[in-house]
């Protein structure tokens, strides 16, 4: 199937890895498509497509062998790290363990037109960015805001998403051959890693600000401010995002009742879970599950 021509990453993914799909959200801006998938260990190499592909790893740590346009390299890709693939690039993606991913497939020609005043590379190749996984709290924050807006389907989505896509491109241009700077006033890398890992591991619990601040040796005030600078979200909203991420997976891949999912995620009732889910996605959990059932 990789020898065939595909006009989008979505078309290729449906043909090659359709059984792994968890979600394909309708495009909001520039034809940008959000794809979520649950991959097993093995070969998930992609055929060349005209999209600029940005993939976020959602699993804890994935040992893998990659070639995404900058030469083959070996990596242990942590959660919230990104792999960026230029348009029309044949990839090598060999995973040692199963992984959950979220991918933005951005048609590159419309993106270049949107950023016409800036010197985007004509071929969509961002140099050294394709030789390693990208880790950046600022990049993560912008990516999460885009995926949230796409899922919500808000009327103001296209303009908002276009602005965020331009931010992503600006950061990619700046980091093509060097790491992005840590935002001034944010958490140190070890503090951010410890806090976010703790929230992942205790996503169904009522985690307090004092608990998180103590974990990284900061005052509550300093921690709350620095966490938002680093991630773009206050801690309680970051935890909600983790819960919604897990909710989407459970709704799409299991037949568990909504009430059971609500309790598993730490909500005290299906009603409170439904309110939180609708606030993020603009639809009910039941409706979301029905839409995902039609993906295949």
Residue 97: both structure tokens together: 């363990």
Mean pLDDT in residue range 244-269: 90
pLDDT-derived band at 18, boundaries 50, 70, 90: very high
Q: Where are the domains of the chain?
A: 9-174, 189-293
**Do the beta carbons of residue 102 and residue 146 sit within 8 Å?**
no
First to last CA, the chain: 18
Residue from 171, 150, 170 nearest 160 by CA:
150
Residues forming beta bridges with residue 83, ordered by sequence position? 55
The 10 Å Cβ neighbour count of residue 248 is: 22
Query: What pLDDT score was predicted for residue 150?
Result: 85
Q: CA nearest 144: which of 34, 292, 291, 229?
A: 34
pLDDT tens digits for range 65-92: 999 999 999 999 999 999 999 999 999 9
CB crowding 5-24: b at 16 or more within 10 Å, else e: ebebbbbbbbebbeebbbbb
Tokens of residue 88, six digits: 């029309």
> pLDDT by residue (tens digit) across 129-178?
999 999 888 899 889 889 888 887 755 567 778 888 988 988 888 876 55
Which one is the CATH code of 189-293: 1.10.10.60, 3.40.50.720, 3.20.20.70, 1.25.40.10?
1.10.10.60
Q: What is 11-69 written as a DSSP string?
A: HHHHHHHGGGEEEEEPP-STT-EEEEEEE-SEE------SEEEEEEE-SSEEEEEEESS
Residue 279 and residue 71: Cα distance in Å, rounded? 42
Options 3.40.640.10, 3.65.10.10, 2.60.120.10, 1.10.150.20; CATH of 9-174: 2.60.120.10
pLDDT category of residue 221 using cuts at 50, 70 and 90: confident
pLDDT digits (tens, 9 = 90+) for 25-55: 878 788 999 999 999 999 999 999 999 999 9
Could you tell me the pLDDT band of residue 180, with boundaries at 50, 70 and 90?
A: very low
115 has a pLDDT exceeding 90: no
Strands 42-43 and 73-78, bridge-based pairing:
unpaired
- Residues belonging to the chain: 296
Beta-strand (E) ranges in 86-239? 92-95, 99-107
Distance CA 277, CA 259 (A): 13
Cβ count within 10 A of residue 61: 12
Classify 108 as helix, strand or coil. helix
Cα–Cα distance for residue pair 232/193, rounded to 1 Å = 15
Does this model's pTM top 0.85? no
């Amino acid at each position: 199937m990789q020898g065939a021509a595909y006009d989008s990453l979505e078309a290729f993914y449906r043909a090659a890895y359709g059984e792994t799909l968890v979600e394909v959200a309708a495009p909001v801006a520039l034809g940008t498509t959000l794809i979520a998938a649950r991959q097993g260990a093995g070969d998930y190499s992609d055929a060349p497509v005209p999209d600029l592909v940005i993939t976020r790893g959602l699993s804890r740590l994935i040992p893998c062998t990659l070639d995404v346009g900058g030469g083959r390299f070996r990596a242990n890709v942590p959660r919230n790290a990104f792999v960026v693939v230029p348009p029309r690039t044949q990839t090598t993606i060999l995973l040692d363990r199963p992984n959950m991913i979220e991918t933005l497939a951005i048609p590159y020609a419309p993106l270049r037109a949107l950023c016409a005043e800036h010197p985007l590379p004509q071929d969509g190749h961002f140099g050294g960015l394709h030789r390693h996984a990208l880790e950046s709290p600022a990049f993560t924050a912008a990516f999460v805001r885009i995926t949230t807006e796409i899922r919500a389907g808000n009327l103001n989505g296209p303009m908002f998403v276009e602005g965020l896509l331009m931010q992503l491109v600006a950061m990619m241009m700046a980091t093509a051959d060097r790491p992005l700077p840590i935002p001034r006033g944010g958490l140190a890398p070890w503090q951010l890693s410890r806090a976010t890992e703790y929230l992942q591991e205790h996503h169904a619990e009522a985690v307090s600000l004092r608990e998180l601040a103590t974990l990284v040796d900061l005052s509550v005030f300093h921690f709350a401010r620095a966490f938002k600078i680093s991630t773009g979200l206050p801690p309680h909203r970051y935890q909600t995002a983790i819960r919604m991420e897990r909710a989407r997976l459970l709704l799409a891949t299991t037949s568990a009742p909504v009430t059971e999912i609500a309790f598993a995620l730490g909500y005290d009732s299906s009603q409170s879970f439904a309110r939180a889910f609708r606030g993020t996605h603009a639809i009910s959990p039941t409706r979301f599950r029905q839409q995902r059932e039609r993906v295949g």
